[in-house]
Structure 1
Amino acid sequence: MFEKLKEDLGVFSSFFFIMLQLTNRSLAIDTLRISEAKYRSLFENIDQSVIYLDATGNVVAINQAAEQLLGLPRDVIIGRKFNDSCVKVIKEDGDAFPEEQQPSVLALRTGKPVEGVVMGLFNAERQNYLWVVVNSVPEFRMGERQPHQVLMTLTDITRQKQSEGKLSMASVIFNNIGEGIFVTDKDKKIISVNEAFTALTGFTQQDVFGKSASLLHSKKNSIKIDDELSNLSEAVNSWQGEVWRRHKSNMDFPSWTTVSEVRDSSGETAHYVHVFMDITHFKKAQDHLGFLAYHDPLTKLPNRLLLKDRIDHSLQNALREGSQAAVLFLDLDRFKGINDTYGHAVGDGLLRETAKRIKNLVRKEDTVSRYAGDEFVVFMENIPNAKNPAKLAKKLIDTFNAPVYIKGYRLKISTSVGISLFPQDGHDTETLIKNADAAMYRAKKEGRNNFQYYSLELTTEAFEKMSMECALRQSIERHELILYYQPQVCLKTGELVGVESLVRWMHPTQGLMLPKHFISIAEDSGFIVALGEWVLQNACMQMVRWLDEGLNVNKMVVNVSAIQLLRSDFVATVERVLGSTGLDPSYLELELSGSGFMDNSEQIIKTLNKLVALGIDLAIDDFGVGCFSLNNLKRIPVKKLKINNSFVADVLNNVDDEDLTRALIALGHGLHLQVIAMGIESKAQQRRLMDLGCDEGQGYLYSSPVLPWSSIFRKLCASNIFKA
């Protein structure tokens, strides 16, 4: 009897030891946190906003994306409760969001993840509300039942809220899944399981009793637990690691498992205790962070980091094998205008469609990356010869000639492509991409919708362009821009009918520069908006001065870029300038290039009608060249057509030019429009244009562009008669 009691006590001691081992199950969580630590460095570089809060709800860490989202510097946010940083948090119905119901507070109190909660946060910098979807995941320390901190992610959905009206609130709280436990004998036959085991695996006690633990081992595993357990010793009597578990429904899942060996009083193995938890959520989070670190979230294409990694690896192989590779740099032509006109939702849709079209054309082994904004890069490895990239470039250009339909809008776009080759155009990723970019800019310069190969001269050209752009951006604050003025004259009477303002740039090293040397740079860089507003402001101010002095100037003509017309605030800008200068709108004439109507004509036509409603006159510049739509000419309220000087130059010597000029003048008169010819340099040209019925003229025959204080110009303006 005594021996039997002793044996029972031994069993009881063994069972007590098992229970003691179970208290260490939170080691798995700590180990998981260590495995996730390598992803923490990604937080600062991803677009996802991430915030850590301690057990009291105070912010302890915040990444750059979250800092920008809230509009506050991190030194103001850290150490304070999240609510204190946001001034006010609201629900979708506009009511205040009670602090005790907020996801981070719920996650701390319940110890469970809280996901998919929609909240309105106040952005201190923008002074408005933004909408976010918040996920809060509690984290635990070893041996503690309460979370010591919460990982909170915020996804900005403000754009969707504004474009779609409202989003349904989605708040999903995942059920907390406890650890599964099963015990085996020394032969690894299952003798006991807990309720969590059944909840996790679908297997009941009856399903697994007496069966080998290998029954629960998935084929996805690269390790064998039996092999690991055979290496246990007195010093190390447990093993832990990631194990794929079988589910009764054959839906295998990853788990973090700790296996402890339990010895009897004689030191022999009596049992093995397996403690495991489902880490599917953690694995998805890790995979998602890894994906965000190397992919563009909008198009799901590889980003710069992954692109560089793939090109670096491929170039090593190409160098070793002596093969060729190519980089194609694509940029959507006039994408900014579409984005500004139709909104970011349409712009994003266009970028996704662009990614799809490119992916459909490349080889399986090629890499397609969204490089930045509307720029895409295609890397072709192991190409047979230098002509292959050109074939792909032609296909890419052709595919974008087909219209794109986004949210009910029919968009007509094109692309410009630059190509660099390995090894002749560069031996590293950075050089190849930079040179392909330079070739792409050459393609744009050659009229867009084409491709160009890189050549050595483009490097110098690209550097000069970049330097010119930087200097141009400083031209306003450095007072380097100057307005010259050229008169417009009635051909029959010689009477002054208007004055055109012409901008010049006094470059700090290159001297006085004409618009043809810098306007295209201003348009490509977006600086044309600031430049155009400066010209409008100063031209209107000058017109007011002339009127105050009693000079006979009837119209101030100001050139306007199509990029300016596409901006939603352009009409407001014109109104503001007229108000600040005091110029009556009837004295202002805006002259725009016909090429500006090639795309987005509906938006521009609406803008032009608003300008005319203010009392401003409109004229079409460079009429007769480009792709101006005659159908649009019927729909816009212009008063004047300006014939391009290329026709005037040869009107005396070329019968075709004379016939074209006659036709353009007749077309203008047929639409009840005034016609002005630019570039008149001789009396003979003037007489011929008069014979053809032209109404007005502009050119060196009357006056070169001069400064407003020129005595000759002021004298002519005072007399109001320009005699050639």
Structure 2
Amino acid sequence: MFKTIRKPINSIYVIAGMIIVLSVLAIMSVSTFLSYHGEKQRIDQEIKANVQDTLLTIEEHIEDLISSYSVNEYSKFIGSEVKYRHLFAMIVEDKNMGAILGKKVYVKGKIRDENWQVVDYDPEDSLQREQLQNAYFTSEKELVNNLGQSIGKIIVVVSDHEFHQRLDNLIYRNLLATFAISALLVATLFLMMRLHLLEPLTNIIEAITQRDSEGLPLEYAPIKGPNEIRVLSQTINHMIKATRVSRQQLMDKSDALRAAKERFQLAIDGTRDGLWDWNAKEGKIYVSEQYEAMLGYQSKDMPDTLEEWLKMIHPDDVDKAQYEIKRYLESKGQGVYENTFRMRTKSGQWLWITSRGKAIFDDEGNPVRFVGFNTDMSKLIQQQEELKKQKDLHQYLANHDTLTNLANRSLFNDRLMHSIKQAQRNGEKLAVLFIDLDYFKEINDSLGHNIGDKVIQSIAKRLQHLIRGGDTIARLGGDEFTILMDDLPDEQSASHIADRVIENFRQPVRVDHHELHLSCSIGISIYPDNGETPTDMLKNADAAMYRAKNLGRNNFQYYSKEMTEEAFERLNMEANIRSGIQNEEFIVYYQPQINSSTQQIIGMEALVRWNSPSLGFITPGRFIPLAIATGSIIDLDRYVMKKAFKEFAAWIDEGLDPGHLSINLNMKQLIREDFVSYLSGLIEQGGFSASCIELEVTEGELMDNPSQAINVLKQVESLGVKLSLDDFGTGYSSLSYLKKLPISKLKIDKSFVDGLPFDKEDEAIVRAIIALAQSLNLDIIAEGAENLQQVDFLSQLGCSNFQGYFFSKPIPAEEMHNFLIEYRRSH
């Protein structure tokens, strides 16, 4: 039973409320007092200013009336002014009328009586005179005629009636406003304090006051509110948790020591499984008779140590068995130990055993006793394996061609649908190749279907070796095959596979002493250009295949005629690249690099050009991407390096001082295992210092795999070779990687130089690159400098090294040789 705890008066709320109320009242009282005195002075000044304004307003009017002896008129005027301006009195001393009446002045005015009614002013009335003397404020104005002579005086009197009335209204409004603001402040402050301070504290109190019979809180304190309260909650929870753990450990130890023997005996008597008990301190294992009988041993004949017990476990399972025991014991008994493994019977057979158990630990967390039981699972596991094999077989037969073991039409359609969805999500392309054997019917008709089936099997194995690792190949039936190519780099990549298939078919198929020469026709459809559903993709690939047959068989066709022509042109160029390297059709050009400050040649960049005998002059923009895609770039790079190093060494030997040789290399080249040794060998053959060589790598390629690039470039740097980052700023580089790269130079890309000095965006980018290079202590060079304005502008920004048409276009070795001689002579 839990104790019911009466919730005490929440005194913290009362105290907080009193503090807030008193604080707000004190602040608002001071504020109201200061506001009251300020408003009082303002009203006083306003009343006096109004009196002065009134005098100025009525002065001219009264002067005219006095001058015209219009006593009744100005008497009415005075009464009106007193009434509507809320004046106490207004008196006119009329010298003109006084002269007529034989007096010094004639006095006429209006005054308010005790009921605040406007009555005539009587100069002889002592009460009125006393009221005027005690008035709040009196102001008078001398009246003069056109000749500047005094004709009388206006006296305006204001009593404190209006002053007090307005002051009373002000006090009333201020009190209302003060009360409203105070109430709002009190409510807001109390609400904020309640939400952020009092309520979290109350929640903690409510949580920890709900206690069990032993006084331990039933729940943890909620972790909410400001940091200090959260820390308080965490501290309380830690104490609760620690207390619970301590109590549980005491209870477990007490119960375990008291009931261990009873529980163990009941377990032995009540189960058919094999019971075991491992005494961790003694290192002995006790097993029940059922356990011994399960493994074919006689009573007391089984090993009783953990080491011997482990030797009975299958060698493939022993590591896992040890790991599961260790993992459970390290968890200090969390959950239940369970593991399945094979054990050797006395006769040498293997049984599948599922072992379950629980351990008891001492105060230090060390295992004292580990008790459990073993169940023979051999029959159940054997049944499960049989069911799984049957299920797998049915599943396999449902999705695969029984003759070739390739995917069938159903599985191919499923994978094609999956690939289409993935390509749609990722904005990728894929290709379907529809392959049909040419004249295969004649083989079946002449040699029989048995030979035909063996031919199909042989073709299936060939096709499996020709496709990429992640591609899918299927047999749709008869002599029709399909290939699914995922994640297509470009549309023309499919033509490489198609060409390899057609080329492979040139090798004869040998079946039962028959040597058969076959060919095939292939149709290619591209997603999403030629269809967005599996049905459309297969239909269009099939249509392209029939066009290949109509064009003479033994060829491939895209569903689009233009793509077919482009594929054949690409394949032709690919073959010409390989032969061009072998026939040394490629020429190395050099473009000088000049320091504008010293007018010295600091180096040159080696550039490759191709003048094919069959294709004519081909720009690097056409053949280099293709060489990269096909892997020919490795041979091409080494061809350029070997030739450039040889010519560069000759210029050094001649004493022409060519500076350094800069060569732009592809990352495929750099990550070759033999590249560093190959580079070192070329430098040694050239007989010049490695510091004369500068390898340029593009920013985009580095950022594809920056970690690998850093490792490779550090090996190159260790040779003494300098490294330059080309096309900097055109990719998506990371400054965190840039500072780790062992580069010594940044190269400003031509695209940023072209717009200088007029393009503000290019200027901003160039300034940033130069500043970055300077901060990282890197050299910098600008490529594509074509006019003096660009050179001067970049020089002013701090870039003195240039490469571009302003100094020289790329030129062959003979011209470069002459350039070095002439430039040295002229400079």
- Is TM > 0.5 for Structure 1 vs Structure 2? no
Question: Structure 2 length as normaliser, TM-score?
Answer: 0.38
Structure number with the bigger relative contact order (C-alpha 8 A, sep ≥ 6) is: 1
Question: Structure 1 length as normaliser, TM-score?
Answer: 0.42
